[in-house]
Amino acid sequence: MRAVVQRVASASISVDGKVISSISRGLMVLVGIGTDDTLADVETLTNKILNIRVFDANGTMWKSSVKDIAGDVLCVSQFTLMANTTKGNKPDFHRAMSSNASRELYATFLEKLRRLYVPDRIQDGQFGAMMNVSLTNEVWDVATPAFLCGDACCLHRDLLL
C-alpha cells in the first residue's frame, strides 16, 4: 500500500458536481493498493496515519497526531499511486490490485481506521468514481505544507520493527 498524507486546513470530494465528503482540519490521505498488499499492510498504514505527528502543539512542530488534535481524516482510493513510470512515457498499472480485490481491502482499511479512532471523523470518497478532490493546505511560517508519502511495506519492515 502506498499513501500520500497531506496535512490540511480543510478538504472535500465532489462527484458529478456534488460534494460527497468534506473535513475540516486534519489529514487528506490518498491510498494506492498493490497486488501484493495484505491485512498486515492495512494494520501498518492505519496505525501510521493515526499516530504520525505532523501537527504543532504549544509552538513545537511535529508534536501532535491527528488523534491528539481531534482532527478529521479524508481518504481517497487512488490506484494511480501504484503506477510504474520507469519505462517509456505511459504509466504501467500492473502493480495495482484489481478493482474488486482492492475495493475489499480499501473497505477493510476504512473499517480499521474507524475502529481505531472516532468513526465520524473518518470520511472517504466514492470508490471507482471520477472524483474532484479539493484541499487547503495548513502551512507553517515557512509556507511549507506537511506532506508525507509512504509505502506501507517499507514502513512495516524498516520503521516499525
Which residues are catalytically annotated?
A: 78-80
Give the CA distances from residue 154 to residues 6, 27, 37, 60, 66, in Å, rounded to whole numbers and listed in that order: 19, 21, 12, 28, 22
HSE, CB side, 13 Å, CA atoms: give it for residue 112: 19
φ, ψ dihedrals at 149, nearest 5°: -130, 130
Please state the separation of Cα 45 from the chain's center in Å.
9
Residues 6+ apart with CB under 8 A from 64: 53, 55, 56, 57
